[in-house]
Amino acid sequence: MAEAIAFDIATELIIKLSSLALSQIGLWWNLKDDLDDLERTVSTIKAVLLDAEEKSATNNLVKVWLEELKDVLYDADDLIDDFSTEALRKDLMGENKLTKE
């Protein structure tokens, strides 16, 4: 079960990292390469999760690892959301300053 949740979170992260808006933000803040690296890492994690799903039925260590990975993926998802929200806030604040002048 944890592997399915972790896989879904990883898939959602890839979608977010691939978004045009986040790519544009990455260019603005010179983080494009870092975001691309993160997207490749999450894709690799998805591949590992497919293998781990088979092993988790018989290996308790894999089950624990999957739970910890799920927590890390949630944290990464939250961080991406925070990053996007902050970028949007800064963008809107910049537009407001221009319209007031």
34 has a pLDDT exceeding 60:
yes
Total domains in the fold of the chain: 1
pLDDT of residue 82: 86
The pLDDT tens digits for 37-64 are 888 888 888 888 888 877 777 888 888 8
Domain coverage including residue 82 = 2-100
Task: Evaluate if pTM is beyond 0.75.
Answer: no
What's the rounded Cα separation, in Å, for the pair 15 and 7? Answer: 12
Residues 6+ apart with CB under 8 A from 71: none
